[in-house]
């Protein structure tokens, strides 16, 4: 399945009460988490606007765009997006490498009774690594990787 761009206009709309509670709880716990750790200890954090994330998830769901109702959030942090997907009826997963974030995200989901599976592991396949790229992390392939489409492989 190829990745394709989906045209949509997202507006920060009112979210259902259960989603609002999730956003409040996650925001409060993020503030506590960063108060407990200084910049050297805290993992990289890419902020989002949770109301827009929910709006996008709701839009693709209403338009019946996903081929199934399975959602995976890579580098899930507190798994807010995965929890939102669960609330929209998806079988939702979060993948997070930081044990403390996994512990906290599982606690939030449990406290709010949101069925989501948060897995403590790397999102990179075994043998792969990453390095800081120009504007994001770049994937480093293992030495044993061979690309059948590479000109040297023909």
What pLDDT digit, counting tens, does each position of 95-105 carry?
Answer: 998 898 999 99
Residue 141 and residue 128 in contact, taking contact as beta carbons nearer than 8 Å: yes
- Please name the fold of domain 17-125: Rossmann fold (3.40.50)
Give the least confident one: 34-43, 70-79, 80-89. Answer: 34-43
Residue with tokens 């839009």: 59
Model-level pTM?
A: 0.77
Helices (H) then strands (E): counts for the chain = 4, 5
Cα 27 to Cα 50: distance, rounded to the nearest angstrom: 10
> Where in the chain are the domains?
17-125
Six token digits for residue 90: 């998806």
Sheet holding 70-74, edge to edge: 70-74, 91-96, 117-120
């Amino acid at each position: 399945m190829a990745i394709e761009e989906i045209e949509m206009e997202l507006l920060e709309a009112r979210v259902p009460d259960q989603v609002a509670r999730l956003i409040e709880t996650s925001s409060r716990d993020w503030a506590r988490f960063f108060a407990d750790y200084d910049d050297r200890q805290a993992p990289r954090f890419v902020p989002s606007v949770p109301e827009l994330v929910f709006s996008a998830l709701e839009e693709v769901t209403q338009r019946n765009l996903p081929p199934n109702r399975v959602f995976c959030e890579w580098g899930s942090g507190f798994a807010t997006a995965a929890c939102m997907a669960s609330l929209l009826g998806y079988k939702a997963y979060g993948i997070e490498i930081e044990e403390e974030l996994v512990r906290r995200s599982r606690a939030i989901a449990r406290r709010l009774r949101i069925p989501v599976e948060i897995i403590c592991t790397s999102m990179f396949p075994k043998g792969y690594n990453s390095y800081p790229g120009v504007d994001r992390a770049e994937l480093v392939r293992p030495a044993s990787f061979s690309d059948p489409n590479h000109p040297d492989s023909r």
